């Protein structure tokens, strides 16, 4: 394991920085706010007891407004056996500048009444296309996936959400919009596509939460989700 000053172009810093990205999305993400790693400026790693501690200086970008911000982050990857999630602390400047309140509120009001349940499949589709009204659900899927990606990350993984296979809106409960999501995650080191089913809630006040998550069994010759013509 690399220890000491990290080369920002090399993979150890990059993987740790992506974990910070997932963390920021769990904290701040919404149907109108989705954050991605832009650049690693510097980093260092050290062994602390049985754990691995990283310190990073990063630029993150909010992908809808294109606003960037500088972030300082500290991560702890647990050592030894067991699979507990990394712990992250991060503070960013300027990243959350974009005012998403109006859009979030409008989206929330539009979908909280129960007489018009929304659903979608293959977002984006094979050609990278999605209907404009599906975009916030794509963002929401990405943010929800971040909870799983954060939890599952270690120094030998690099996760991205590859696609929302499908989502279905459920009855609003306790003022939270609720959805079942089936997402495809891409893990870069193994190159595997990992399927997860998530029960997701969101409201402007409470943010995104994942109430339940279920790993889907690896299917060897996965059929494309329904609605894809063969």
Quick check: 129 binds other proteins (CB under 8 A)?
yes
218 lines the binding site for other proteins (CB under 8 A): yes
Alpha carbon distance, N-terminus to C-terminus of the chain? 45
Task: Give strand pairing partners of 187.
Answer: 159, 192
Minimum CB–partner distance for residue 72 and other proteins (Å):
21
Annotate each residue in 36-75 with x if it binds other proteins (CB under 8 A) or - if it does not, as one string: xx-x-----------------------x------------
Within the chain, where are the H helices?
11-28, 101-112, 135-152
Q: Does 127 bind other proteins (CB under 8 A)?
A: yes
CA distance 145 to 139: 10
Interaction between residue 215 and other proteins (CB under 8 A): no
Q: In whole angstroms, what is the distance from residue 67 CA to residue 98 CA?
A: 7
Query: How far is Cα 43 from Cα 31, in angstroms, rounded to an integer?
Result: 31
Question: Would you say 42 or 190 has its CB closer to other proteins?
Answer: 190
Q: CB nearer to other proteins: give 80 or 217.
A: 217
Q: Kind of pairing, strands 51-62 and 35-48?
A: antiparallel
Instruction: Kindly list the residues in this chain that would bind other proteins in the complex (CB under 8 A).
Output: 7, 9-11, 14, 18, 36-37, 39, 63, 115-116, 124-129, 160-163, 184, 186, 188-193, 218, 220-224, 228, 230
């Amino acid at each position: 394991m690399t220890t000491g000053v990290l080369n920002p172009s090399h993979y150890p810093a990059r993987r740790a920085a992506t974990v910070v990205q997932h963390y920021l999305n769990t904290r701040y993400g919404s149907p109108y706010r989705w954050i991605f790693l832009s650049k690693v400026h510097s980093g260092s790693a050290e062994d602390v007891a049985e754990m691995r501690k990283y310190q990073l200086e990063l630029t993150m970008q909010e992908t809808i407004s294109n606003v960037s911000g500088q972030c300082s982050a500290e991560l702890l990857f647990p050592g030894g056996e067991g699979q507990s999630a990394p712990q992250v602390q991060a503070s960013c400047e300027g990243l959350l500048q974009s005012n998403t309140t109006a859009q979030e509120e409008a989206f929330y009001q539009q979908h909280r009444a129960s007489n018009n349940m929304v659903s979608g499949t293959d977002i984006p589709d094979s050609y990278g296309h999605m209907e404009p009204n599906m975009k916030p659900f794509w963002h929401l899927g990405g943010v929800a996936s971040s909870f799983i990606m954060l939890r599952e990350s270690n120094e030998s993984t690099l996760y991205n959400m590859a696609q929302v296979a499908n989502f279905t809106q459920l009855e609003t409960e306790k003022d939270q919009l609720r959805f079942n999501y089936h997402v495809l995650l891409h893990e870069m080191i193994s190159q595997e596509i990992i399927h997860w089913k998530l029960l997701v809630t969101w409201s402007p006040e409470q943010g995104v939460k994942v109430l339940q998550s279920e790993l889907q069994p690896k299917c060897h010759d996965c059929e494309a989700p329904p609605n894809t013509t063969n």
